[in-house]
Amino acid sequence: MVERKFFIDTDTATDDAVALVMALRNSDIDVLGISTVAGNCTIEQATQNALYTQNLVGSTVPVHVGAAGPLMRDLQSAHHVHGQDGMGDIGLELHGREPASYRGVQALIDAIMDNPGEIELVTLGPLTNLALALRLEPGIIDSVKRVVSMGGTAVLPGNVTALAEFNFWADPEAAFIVVNSGLQFEMAGWDISTAHAVIHDGLAAELRSLGTLGAFAMDIQAVLREFCRNETMLDGFDLPDALAMAIAIEPTIVTREAHHFVDVISGDGPARGQTIVDERGNSGREPNCRVIYEVDRERFLQLLRASLTDSP
């Protein structure tokens, strides 16, 4: 089987790390590179977290440092969700590793342009790097195979405001540029994560028992578990980035989808970062997004278990 080519853009925190493990351990996927972006945590921390995860799975995929903040505003991170180090504050040594380069946006462009029609781009954080790449090289629109993005919501509410999901809210101008660019864009929103990717305590214990990777993937969710218990009122914690990666790896786990015109509210105000999904076609605009509404939870969990099981 010919390996599929991925490039991953991430603001590496707890669920991003699980998503990275899923991609880096999949024998059918050739991850050509990882670019980091500020979002869940600072660019420095996101980079160290990506490098730690890469090293843990024994990968040599290059990690490139990308944008240190949103296009037009100050960074507002999510340490209260993922911990001060972005990885659950469990005492991991998340420092001292050297990235492959400090040219994350250019690395993303080069991967796409050097492999026309082959790269499947998976974005797990704010869309700052991709928006900058579009400005520097519009040719990536026709050269990238698909873009699977963890961001937005097809169905309200949001997770950072009543209307917005964090990644789109963190850099709404970037999200607006990307969604309206003409890319083959697929939206795996926070709403499908809370519906299909919640890990309850019993399941977390099972996954933790799978080995070193299972323990890592579950232990780093410590701060997130408390946030979900007290703020989002979930029976466990959810893994939106891992679910988006599962959709990228196995597109057929999607059980309900539709192609709609999607827009993003930029600027400030109560609707900042909201995704507008034109389900009835009232805008008269052509569909620009594969909107994912439901996935097969059991198939997601099968993929997750396989990714977290240590090799014999």
Q: Which residues are catalytic?
A: 11
Q: Provide the residue count of the chain.
A: 312
233: alpha, beta or left? (left if phi > 0; alpha if psi -120 to 50): left
* Strands of the sheet with 289-295, listed across from one edge: 63-65, 29-36, 4-10, 119-123, 146-150, 185-188, 289-295, 254-264, 275-278
Read off φ and ψ for residue 56, nearest 5 degrees.
Answer: -60, -35
Neighbours of 306 (CB within 10 A): 12
The crossing angle, in degrees rounded to 10, of helices 240-249 and 297-308 is: 90
Opening angle at CA 311, ends 310 and 312, nearest 5: 115
- Copy the structure tokens of residue 272: 């900042």
Give Cβ neighbours of residue 31 (< 8 Å, ≥ 6 apart): 6, 7, 8, 23, 24, 59, 61
How far apart (Å, rounded) are the C-alpha atoms in residues 54 and 218? 17
